[in-house]
A = this chain, B = another copy of it.
Amino acid sequence: MKDLPVEIQPEMCKVTDALGILVGKWKPVILLHLLNSGTQRFNELKRSLPGITQKMLTNQLRELEEEDIIERKVYAQVPPKVEYSVTEYGRSLEPILHAMHEWGAKHTIHKQSKKHNQAEAK
């Protein structure tokens, strides 16, 4: 998703900013996983996210790190050890994620009852 022109309305752009951080095929899942399970190593995450490629995982983690949502801690060891965790600041997203989860759950029901009504109307 590319950026919107800032001119449109100052207020709107803040929403898109927030959205930008959550957008990406794997970002919400990674975040929720780290919130649930706490600190995780790279390969632990990878194993928990069936289907993700290493490239994507690295890439999404880096983007979240950029925004100070998660933290990356490298241990000077061989084989390497890198731990990821949600920052204190990152936790401020929790209420939003929670609200979205609630809304999403209701929406699933809403769509089903809509379908049902349409079927009845025939």
A101 on the B face (CB < 8 A): yes
Residue in B closest to A102 when the chains form the complex, CB atoms: B14
A: contact size bracket: 35 or more
**Judging by beta carbons under 8 Å apart, are A5 and B50 in contact?**
yes
Most chain B C-beta atoms within 10 Å of own C-beta, residue among A15, A68, A99, A102 = A15
Contact of A15 among B2, B26, B50, B104 (CB under 8 A): B104
Q: How many copies does the complex hold?
A: 2
Given contacts A1-B24, A114-B68, contact A100 B19 (CB under 8 A): yes
**Which residue numbers of A lie inside 8 Å of B, CB to CB?**
1-2, 4-5, 7-9, 11-19, 21-26, 28-29, 32-33, 49-51, 67-68, 89, 92-93, 95-97, 99-108, 110-111, 114
